[in-house]
Chain A
Amino acid sequence: MAPDGFREAYADALDNRPRERPRPALAALARRPSDAGGAFQSADPAQPRIAGAGPDPMKQQIAILSDATRPVAEREEALATLQAAAFMGPKFNPYRAAYRSALRQVAIDADAHLRAQALESLALDKDDYARSLLLDGLEGRRDPLVPKAKAVQLLAHDDHGAALSVAHRVLDEADDPQAQQEAVRVLASDPGSGSRLLGLYRDRGATAELRVASATALHALDPGLFEPEARRIVEDDDEDPDVRASSLGALAVIPRYASTRNDPAFVGKVEEIRNSAADGPLKTSTDRYLSERSE
């Protein structure tokens, strides 16, 4: 790309094409004057929170989202617009209460996709109503609003919530592999679950996906428990190659495991694997492990 004429060409391209404008509701919110004092000023009861005449574009979007008679695609776009608006922080604050209320309404909507999106928005915000809906679905007090795995995943967004007992129960039931994988990740925040995670990580009867998910949780919870098991699995030629690749990947990249490179026997074993493994994830992990500098 030669610099000569670069801007000229860019300018031509900019001028000679149909122009798309930003979504009106978002543009209107973005253009709303920013206040100097932050919400201190907006907290002044003498100041109306939503100024201006005419229909408020954000309120219109909330109305569209809430209106079950409208096409789902239209409501989904309204939801996306509102979520985009939420990134404008204080400018969106005057609509937060109505928005949350609409989300709670949509969380039990007939459309599964829209419902799941609303529940996720609420769950990311650690909303207690969403928590109770999800728990009710999992515990049979109502028809589930989302699949079991998704429900566990959404509950897990709140580590001060109720996900832990649910996760243990899902693992005990062992009837939904996807849900189990979500459940083990929840245990990463439970100091009492180290041995359970270790057991799942080393369980050759479990799927590689569940074992690796357990490994990631164990690493996050207690690296001291993870490291020796990861080494053992890497060194075991009878182990699942994907579990070995993932375990070695962690030892290669995560600084606290750099000390494994001081063990000549282990490094020698990794070299041996590299020399014998076919091309694939395990070989790539050995290459990465042996090439990474230690910090």
Chain B
Amino acid sequence: MKVEVKIASVDHDGRVYLGWTPVEVTARVVDGPGDGRTVAVTLRNAGTGGQLDISLSRTMQGAPNLDVDLPGDGSPLRFWLAGRFGRPSAAFGDAVLQVVERASGTVLGTTPAMVRIRKDANALTDEERDRFLVAFGTLNGRGTGRFKEFRDMHVGGRPLEESHGNMGFLPWHRTYLLDLERELQDIDPTVALPYWRFDTAAPRVFSHGFMGLPDPNGRVRFTPGHPLEFWTTDGQVGIVRAMTNFRPDDAPSGLMGERDTLGLGDDYVDFAVMEGDPHGLAHTRFGGPIRSPPTAPRDPLFFLLHANVDRLWAKWQWFYDRLGDADPAAYASGGPYRVGHNLSDTMWPWNGVTTAPRPSTAPGGTLAASTLVTAPGPSPSVRAMLDYKGAGGGPHQGFDYDDVPFWRDPAVA
């Protein structure tokens, strides 16, 4: 007798990846005792790294162990499984779901998994860092994906108006990051995009082994053989990033910290002011392409910086309970805004629309697909990018931040 577990959150090889959002799981007995009888089992979190919570309903209040009786005839039992907030994985397989027969203690099924979460880049293990860097270097080395279209995606004029200086700044960049992360995960499914907390010191990030350190001319140097050493974007070889504002072991100065940013207000319109400070100022803490909008994505640090911007939005959404699009304060309720920035608008370039006032070309195609989830679809709307966790009951998008729970603490909410 054994128990077969099916989790609808797998990669091309059938390996299970989870975030904080509970996903539906079914377990059924194979070669069991037959009709009318049940098998008493414990669903058990048995990992050594990433931890799992199990529940019979879609809640963040699952438990590491859950006793259930599985039908002996092989009918499936449905339950929910999520990563335990605060206990993400460091590698695939360090999270494990076991099914144990209560009477005998026999293990009837084992499912290795990964609680794959976007983490503080400065706190990654060496292995996590290297997996990320190799995937990033590989993607860049392909010469495709987000690295070829920068010239057309981020140039001034209409393309920049799709993504900046308007209400859709945050949803557009959330999509941009998700697109990149999915391309990275196509290379290595264990990779999640890390974020650079630009309000704290990150000496491990600013090192020769990670994002590199500049020489006096701002030319970024790496340890020989580093996966980003042959970085090429837009015909430009290498990375230029002078550290003009802070030393590698200090935090940047002169921009708003996390709590001040969340304190901008509980209405999206107030929070969106963060596009200037801290977001814009974070870009200007350096010299080099990252300091200028049309060239900023040439620097791989751009994506870590923007992951932090997105994390701040995600945390604001969680803190103020502003995920649902029915909530007028969850997004800009005024308008209408320029096309692409209203709640129901789809976003360029993923929508492929090339008629004015959209840009006349939309390179790169639709949003990269994920094997784990279907949301937000190939051509997402602004609305689709708000509730990325599926907290309102809809589908989640397959990413989470290490310090933003699935939903609000029930004791407070």
Binding site for B on A (CB under 8 A): 1-8, 10-11, 13-14, 17, 19-23, 26-27, 29-31, 34-40, 77, 79-81, 83-92, 113, 116-117, 120-121, 124-125, 147, 149-150, 153, 156-157, 159, 178, 181-182, 185, 188-189, 208, 212-213, 215-217, 219-220, 241-243, 245-246, 248-250, 252-256, 281-282, 284-285, 288, 292, 295
**Is residue B319 contacting chain A, with contact meaning CB distance below 8 A?**
yes
Q: Chain B residue with minimal CB distance to A96? A: B156
Tell which of B218, B225, B283 touches A84, judged by Cβ atoms closer than 8 Å. Answer: B283
A188 touches B281 (CB 8 A): no
Q: Chain A residue with minimal CB distance to B186? A: A295
B338 touches A295 (CB 8 A): no
B335 touches A36 (CB 8 A): yes
Given A14-B259, A253-B134: A77 touches B254 (CB 8 Å cut-off) = yes
A3 touches B277 (CB 8 A): no
Q: Chain B residue with minimal CB distance to A122? A: B292
19 chain-A/chain-B pairs, Cβ below 8 angstroms: A8-B412, A22-B264, A39-B161, A81-B281, A81-B284, A85-B276, A89-B160, A89-B166, A120-B288, A120-B291, A178-B217, A185-B236, A220-B237, A241-B224, A242-B224, A246-B225, A249-B230, A281-B224, A292-B134
User: How far is A121 from B295 in the complex, measured between Cα atoms in Å?
Assistant: 11
B138 touches A255 (CB 8 A): yes
Chain B residues near A252: list those with CB within 8 A.
Answer: 134, 225, 227
A220 touches B232 (CB 8 A): yes
Contact mask for chain B residues 311-340; partner A; CB cutoff 8 A; 1 contact, 0 none: 000000011000000000000000111110
B141 touches A256 (CB 8 A): yes
Given A7-B319, A26-B281: A153 touches B240 (CB 8 Å cut-off) = yes
Min CB gap A257→B, angstroms? 8
Residue of A2, A27, A37, A38 contacting most chain B CB atoms (<10 Å)? A38
**Is residue B280 contacting chain A, with contact meaning CB distance below 8 A?**
yes
**New contact pairs (5) apart from A7-B318, A8-B409, A284-B225, CB-CB < 8 Å:** A6-B409, A35-B337, A88-B164, A149-B217, A253-B141
User: How far is A91 from B273 in the complex, measured between Cα atoms in Å?
Assistant: 12
Chain A, interface SS category: helix
Min CB gap A29→B, angstroms? 6
Contact mask for chain B residues 137-149; partner A; CB cutoff 8 A; 1 contact, 0 none: 1100110000000
User: How far is A84 from B165 in the complex, measured between Cα atoms in Å?
Assistant: 11
User: How far is A4 from B412 in the complex, measured between Cα atoms in Å?
Assistant: 9
B223 touches A37 (CB 8 A): no
Min CB gap B348→A, angstroms? 12
Chain A residues near B138: list those with CB within 8 A.
Answer: 253-255, 295
Tell which of B225, B284, B289 touches A281, judged by Cβ atoms closer than 8 Å. Answer: B225
User: How far is A113 from B274 in the complex, measured between Cα atoms in Å?
Assistant: 28
**Closest CB pairs A-B (n = 6):** A84-B280, A26-B276, A1-B86, A254-B141, A249-B225, A89-B164
User: How far is A143 from B64 in the complex, measured between Cα atoms in Å?
Assistant: 70
Q: Chain B residue with minimal CB distance to A6? A: B409
**Is residue B167 contacting chain A, with contact meaning CB distance below 8 A?**
yes
A90 touches B165 (CB 8 A): yes
A40 touches B225 (CB 8 A): no
A249 touches B224 (CB 8 A): yes
Binding site for A on B (CB under 8 A): 60, 85-86, 130, 134, 137-138, 141-142, 156, 158, 160-161, 163-167, 187, 215-219, 223-227, 229-230, 232, 235-238, 240, 244-245, 254, 256-257, 259-260, 262-264, 272-281, 283-285, 287-289, 291-295, 318-319, 335-339, 341, 357, 403, 405, 408-409, 411-413
Min CB gap A25→B, angstroms? 8
User: How far is A101 from B223 in the complex, measured between Cα atoms in Å?
Assistant: 40
A27 touches B164 (CB 8 A): no
Given A34-B338, A87-B293, A90-B164: A249 touches B229 (CB 8 Å cut-off) = yes
Q: Chain A residue with minimal CB distance to B293? A: A87
Min CB gap A98→B, angstroms? 16
User: How far is A29 from B280 in the complex, measured between Cα atoms in Å?
Assistant: 12
Q: Chain B residue with minimal CB distance to A257? A: B141
B141 touches A83 (CB 8 A): no
B215 touches A178 (CB 8 A): yes
Residue of B60, B166, B217, B295 contacting most chain A CB atoms (<10 Å)? B217
Q: Chain A residue with minimal CB distance to B157? A: A39
Chain B residues near A156: list those with CB within 8 A.
Answer: 236
A216 touches B273 (CB 8 A): no
User: How far is A150 from B217 in the complex, measured between Cα atoms in Å?
Assistant: 6
User: How far is A39 from B367 in the complex, measured between Cα atoms in Å?
Assistant: 27
Given A38-B158, A125-B292, A255-B142: A11 touches B412 (CB 8 Å cut-off) = yes
Residue of B260, B318, B319 contacting most chain A CB atoms (<10 Å)? B260
User: How far is A7 from B258 in the complex, measured between Cα atoms in Å?
Assistant: 14
User: How far is A77 from B409 in the complex, measured between Cα atoms in Å?
Assistant: 40
User: How far is A40 from B224 in the complex, measured between Cα atoms in Å?
Assistant: 50
B236 touches A4 (CB 8 A): no
User: How far is A81 from B276 in the complex, measured between Cα atoms in Å?
Assistant: 8
Min CB gap B275→A, angstroms? 5
A86 touches B141 (CB 8 A): no
Tell which of B219, B293, B405 touches A3, judged by Cβ atoms closer than 8 Å. Answer: B405
User: How far is A7 from B262 in the complex, measured between Cα atoms in Å?
Assistant: 13
A255 touches B141 (CB 8 A): yes
Residue of A3, A83, A255 contacting most chain B CB atoms (<10 Å)? A3
User: How far is A185 from B137 in the complex, measured between Cα atoms in Å?
Assistant: 18
Residue of B166, B264, B284 contacting most chain A CB atoms (<10 Å)? B284
B254 touches A80 (CB 8 A): yes
Q: Chain B residue with minimal CB distance to A214? A: B237
Min CB gap A84→B, angstroms? 3
Tell which of A6, A83, A212, A295 touches B405, judged by Cβ atoms closer than 8 Å. Answer: A6
Chain A residues near B280: list those with CB within 8 A.
Answer: 26, 83-88
User: How far is A233 from B337 in the complex, measured between Cα atoms in Å?
Assistant: 57
A21 touches B225 (CB 8 A): no
Tell which of B160, B279, B338 touches A37, judged by Cβ atoms closer than 8 Å. Answer: B338
User: How far is A8 from B319 in the complex, measured between Cα atoms in Å?
Assistant: 10
Chain A residues near B408: list those with CB within 8 A.
Answer: 7
B217 touches A153 (CB 8 A): yes
B281 touches A13 (CB 8 A): no
Q: Chain B residue with minimal CB distance to A221? A: B237
Min CB gap A190→B, angstroms? 11
Chain A residues near B240: list those with CB within 8 A.
Answer: 153
Given A120-B288, A281-B225: A157 touches B236 (CB 8 Å cut-off) = yes
